[in-house]
Structure 1
Amino acid sequence: MARILPAVLVTAFALLLLAAMFWAWRARKKRQAAFQNPLDAPATDARGAELGRASVLYVATTTAGEPLDRLTIPGLAFRGRGVVTVFEQGVSLTIPGEPETFIARENLRSVGTSTWAIDRVVETGGLVRFDWTYRADIGPAEVESYVRAIELGDAARLIAAANSIIPASQTPIHTQQEGPSS
């Protein structure tokens, strides 16, 4: 009997905590209702040649300049393993169990590196950051997606391939970021 009361209290606290997390995520999705449309990926033959591919750990997509504000875009709401493929017409991010995200080259603003986003801190330049424009219901929104390349050297190859499809007028001089987007 002496052990039942603490067990009930711990269980009740855990259930209360889970309920609070559920309601907080639901409220975030409601606040970000403009980001609820998945991005349409073009047919495979309309993407052009493959310029680069890497297995990655997808970290997050955030509002540009706000690396702690996770967005709930379908296919990009949760962290996971995935594959980033750079094509002549854009960048594809595929996470198993999620819809594919395709960032068209005209929406890609810049590519660089970062050290931290949300709850992930790595060595200097350990994250690859894609700065792009999401066409939301309320108009265009500037966002940043962060991935961590699994294999050594893949990050540099991804950055080089993605920078090759960005028009020269949009390519930033500095590709490393340690906070707000450049």
Structure 2
Amino acid sequence: MSRLLPAALVALLAIVLLAAMLWAWRARKRRQSAFAVTTSAPQSRGAVRESVSVLYVATTRAGDPLDRLTIPGLAFRARAVVTVYDTGVSIHPDGERETFIAKDALRSVGTSTWVIDRVVEPGGLVRLDWTISSTDGPADVESYLRATEDGVGPRLLDSLGTLAPQQEGTAS
């Protein structure tokens, strides 16, 4: 009986914490409901310039690398396949829907050192600066990708550089 009360309190605390996390995530999704707009990929994407496996880290508001966005398909960190086409770039995280970013929506590409809960060596994250349509109008966002194999990051950055200008240095 003496162990039952502490175990029940710990279980109750765990349930309360899980409920609070769920409530916070749903509140974030409501606040960011303007980003629920999705665009369909064109039927003809052109030639594949590069296709690599990466770790998709996050998409945030431009200039605010601590504000994760809940864009459908890009809300959670996961392994992903990034494919660079003549007409844009596709990010397809495991278990999520594919997100296609048209060439004209890309503002620039570059590298970063940190975002939200990921800190890597200088320039270890590939950053896509792009504009997403939302119900509140166009919004500037940044998507972060982490190469999982040697040489993939520079190759991906070079491929993306054919679609959008490269920024020198790191933004975050």
In the superposition, the TM-score normalised over structure 2's length comes to 0.97
Distance 2:139 2:69 in 1: 11
Distance 1:118 1:134 in 2: 20
Contact kept? 1:48, 1:88, Cα under 8 Å: yes
Unaligned runs of 5+ in 1: none
Contact kept? 2:61, 2:142, Cα under 8 Å: yes
Distance 1:42 1:28 in 2: 30
Could you tell me which of 96, 106, 109 is aligned with 1:108?
A: 106
1:147 and 2:145 aligned: yes
Query: What is the percentage of aligned positions where both structures have the same residue?
Result: 60
Contact kept? 1:61, 1:71, Cα under 8 Å: yes
Give the counterpart letter for 1:103 in structure 2. I
Q: Which residue of 2 aligns with 1:57?
A: 55
Deviation at 1:173, TM superposition (A): 4.8
Q: Alignment partner of 2:130: what SS? A: strand
Q: Alignment partner of 1:6: what SS? A: helix
1:80 and 2:73 aligned: no
Distance 1:105 1:129 in 2: 15
Q: Which residue of 1 aligns with 2:31?
A: 31
Q: Alignment partner of 2:162: what SS? A: helix
**What is the count of residue pairs matched by the alignment?**
172
Q: 1:10-38 deviations in whole A, cap 9, x for unaligned? A: 00000000000000000000000100122
Q: Which residue of 2 aligns with 1:6?
A: 6
Deviation at 1:172, TM superposition (A): 4.7
Q: 1:112-155 deviations in whole A, cap 9, x for unaligned? A: 11010000001111110000000111110000000101111111
Could you tell me which of 67, 70, 73 is aligned with 1:69?
A: 67
Contact kept? 2:112, 2:122, Cα under 8 Å: yes
Distance 1:38 1:156 in 2: 29
Distance 2:170 2:150 in 1: 20
Give the counterpart letter for 1:59 in structure 2. V
Change (3 A) 1:22 1:111: same
Could you tell me which of 130, 136, 147 is aligned with 1:132?
A: 130
4+ residue runs over 4 A deviation:
none
Distance 1:154 1:134 in 2: 26
Q: Alignment partner of 1:56: what SS? A: strand
Distance 1:90 1:178 in 2: 22
Unaligned runs of 5+ in 2: none
Q: Alignment partner of 1:136: what SS? A: coil
Q: CA RMSD in A?
A: 1.0
In the superposition, the TM-score normalised over structure 1's length comes to 0.92
Distance 1:173 1:151 in 2: 23
Contact kept? 1:56, 1:149, Cα under 8 Å: yes
Contact kept? 2:83, 2:91, Cα under 8 Å: yes
Deviation at 1:72, TM superposition (A): 0.3
